[in-house]
């Protein structure tokens, strides 16, 4: 029987590559998305992966969306908390709204995504929780006090969940992508982006598939003893 995987923010960017890689590895995949209906239906048309719309910042909506996925595909064995946003601004210009939106989506969104599937994973004695953090959660980043706080928070989440889930056959790990060629990074002003690429020893942005392959490995049976870890995929930009 195929395992079931849920990928939040799974119809675009890194999430789309993760959904596709898991499908290619034999999982039944559900891709959640928040707002871009057009991109979601194009993604489903192209890949055959069903998409489900809800806002990960909303606990009740997450619970209801996850219940629908489980009714359609079966109990979720692998959850990839990938959905994330940026609201970059130097700290002296960052508004409380910019702070709160990023916390609600990137950090509370992880709680809202994992909490509803956790009891089932405990009962079935198997689960994979994979959270997409960031190099900027490891090293901090100019204009990203909000985002870096959430991505550092992801690491605390998986290290704690790993200890709680280990005896129930559940692993929880984070992947920390560096700068990957997605819309999010392309939205950074070109001059700033060029200066960031100059700091990456690999001399290039990463590809979404390079992150997806890390996730597929962490989801596999081979990764059972990897628990509470952080995989960095950043072209040697930063070591932690
Ligand atoms: N390091 C040092 N200085 C920087 C900087 C950086 N990374 N980015 C901007 N600055 C400088 C600017 O050059 C500017 O300097 P001057 O005043 O001397 O000209 C100053 O900081 C800020 O200027 P402004 O007050 O005009 O800034 P702004 O209000 O217009 O905001 C910005 C601009 C939002 C900070 C913009 O520069 C930006 O988007 N920077 C990139 C931030 C970034 O790296 N975000 C990562 C997005 S990708 C991602 O998050 C994915 C992931 O996980 C890796």
Task: Give per-residue pLDDT as tens, 189-240.
Answer: 999 999 999 999 999 999 999 999 999 999 999 999 999 999 999 999 999 8
Is 147 a known active-site residue?
yes
Ordered by start, the domain boundaries in the chain are 4-179+208-224
> Which residues have CB under 8 Å from 159's CB, separation 6+?
172, 228
What angle do the packed helices 13-24 and 208-219 form, to 10 degrees?
50
Q: What is the spatial distance between Cα 54 and Cα 51, in angstroms, rounded to a whole number? A: 10
Residue 172: its H or E element: strand 170-177
φ, ψ dihedrals at 131, nearest 5°: -110, 130
Residue 171: its H or E element: strand 170-177
pTM tops 0.85: yes
Query: Is 237 a pocket residue for ligand 1 (Cβ < 6 Å)?
Result: no
Mean pLDDT across 108-136: 98
Query: Is 176 a pocket residue for ligand 1 (Cβ < 6 Å)?
Result: no
Residue 220: its H or E element: none
For domain 4-179+208-224, the question of CATH label 3.90.1300.10 is answered with: no
**Which residue has a Cα nearest atom 13 of ligand 1?**
192
Q: How far is the CA of 38 from the centre of ligand 1 (A)?
A: 30
Q: Is the pLDDT of residue 7 over 90?
A: yes
């Amino acid at each position: 029987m195929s395992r079931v995987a849920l990928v939040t923010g799974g119809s675009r960017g890194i999430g789309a590559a993760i959904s596709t890689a898991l499908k290619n590895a034999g999982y039944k995949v559900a891709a959640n998305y928040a707002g871009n209906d057009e991109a979601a239906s194009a993604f489903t048309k192209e890949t055959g992966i069903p998409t489900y719309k809800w806002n990960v910042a909303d606990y009740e909506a997450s619970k209801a969306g996850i219940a629908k996925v489980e009714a359609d595909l079966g109990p979720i064995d692998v959850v990839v908390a990938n959905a994330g946003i940026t609201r970059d601004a130097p700290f002296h210009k960052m508004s409380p709204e910019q702070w709160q939106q990023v916390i609600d989506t990137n950090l509370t969104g992880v709680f809202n995504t994992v909490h509803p599937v956790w009891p089932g994973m405990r009962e079935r004695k198997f689960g994979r929780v994979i959270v997409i953090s960031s190099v900027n959660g490891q090293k901090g980043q100019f204009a990203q006090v909000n985002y870096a706080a959430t991505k550092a928070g992801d690491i605390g989440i998986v290290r704690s969940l790993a200890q709680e889930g280990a005896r129930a056959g559940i692993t929880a790990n984070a992947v920390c992508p560096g700068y990957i060629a997605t819309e999010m990074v392309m939205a950074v002003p070109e001059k700033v982006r060029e200066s960031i690429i100059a700091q990456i020893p690999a001399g290039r942005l990463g590809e979404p598939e390079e992150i997806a392959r890390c996730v597929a490995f962490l989801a596999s049976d081979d990764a059972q003893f990897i628990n509470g870890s952080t995989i960095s995929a950043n072209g040697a930009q930063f070591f932690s």
